[in-house]
Amino acid sequence: MILVTGATGFIGSEVMRRASRRGWRVRGLARHPDRAEALGRLPHVELFRGDVTDPADLDEAMEGVTAVIHLVAIIVATREQGFRKVNLEGTVATLEAAARAGVPRFVHMSALGVEEGRDVTAYFRTKWEAEETVRASGLSTTIFRPSLVFGRDSEVFGPLARVVRYSPVVPLPGGGRQRFQPVWVGDVAECFLQAARMERSPEPVYEVGGPEVLALREVVHALAEAMGRRRPAIVPLPVGPLERLARIGEKVLPKPPVTADQLRMLELGSVTSPEALKALKRDFEIEHARLGDKAGGWFR
């Protein structure tokens, strides 16, 4: 039995569907499993209501589990859910519950750029601290650091695709010069599932990127091409004033459209090293799909 935290999210749902198709028993932990009833009806799938910060929930969810895929994290803090509580304390609680239950294998999702960005944003700082607790846990662990993950239900690519589809101009911070290595959600899910079935992975940490490096403006062009539309005009937005506006929005809006932390992370970019990509290809059987290969299917 594999336990997946954050099971109803973008990546977690893909992990659950793929495990089901293979006939692997998988249990999904989510705060609101009722929002994913179709997922819960899949064969070999259990959905369990629980919170990764609640030890009692975690102890119950760990029964009969042989591996944990820990995906829970937030990229925007709210009054109810802060970075430290979810990203760090949630990871600590899940590790401790796995240890109490004698679960030997723990596969953890971090983020590309976490080491370089740990002194830049609260998100990266808490993700780095979570990595440190995973490394020190004494369990057999593997950490994945994905670049931007794309797919039909992506919280990043979905809204961006809608702007590309309906607007002749697309405003981008800094003109979209930031570089990323977009990776398909199916490839990311495969990495987690394959690692969960290993006793130990050849490397403790993997950077997960797709086969091409794209500037953000090139991502916009790839989405337009997938839709069969003319490339929209890119309107550069100065990053400094945007950050100042974002800070004001964080103070006055319950859910700001963008945060200063997100803009700083955008400026850092997200690209793997050639050596890291070689290790990923060597140790995991994945498709290495390009954005253009998959995006066309989103708009049919």
Element (H, E) at 129: helix 122-135
Q: pLDDT at position 15, please?
A: 97
Q: Is residue 189 exposed (0-12), middle (13-18) or buried (19+ Cβ within 10 Å)?
A: buried
Q: Nearest 5 degrees, angle CA 201-CA 126-CA 266?
A: 90
pLDDT along the chain (300 residues), means of 10: 95 96 95 84 92 94 97 84 92 97 97 92 95 96 96 85 88 92 96 96 96 95 89 89 81 76 85 94 95 79
Q: What is residue 125's predicted lDDT score, i.e. its pLDDT?
A: 96
CA dihedral defined by 29, 210, 227, 165, rounded to 10 degrees?
Answer: 60
Side-chain half-sphere CA neighbours of 185 within 13 A? 22
What pLDDT does 265 receive? 84
Question: 176: closest CA among 124, 127, 235, 259?
Answer: 235
d(CA 164, CA 231): 8
Q: Output the CA torsion 279→280→281→287 (10° steps).
A: -170
DSSP state of 118: T
Residue 182's pLDDT is 95
**Cβ(148)–Cβ(180) under 8 Å?**
yes
H/E segment holding residue 253: none
The Cα 88–Cα 218 span in angstroms is 34
pLDDT of 243: 83
The CATH classification number of 2-147+184-208+271-287 equals 3.40.50.720
pTM of the model: 0.93
- For residue 299, the model assigns a pLDDT of 63
Question: Quick check: 147 and 290 in contact, CB under 8 A?
Answer: no
CA distance 296 to 101: 44
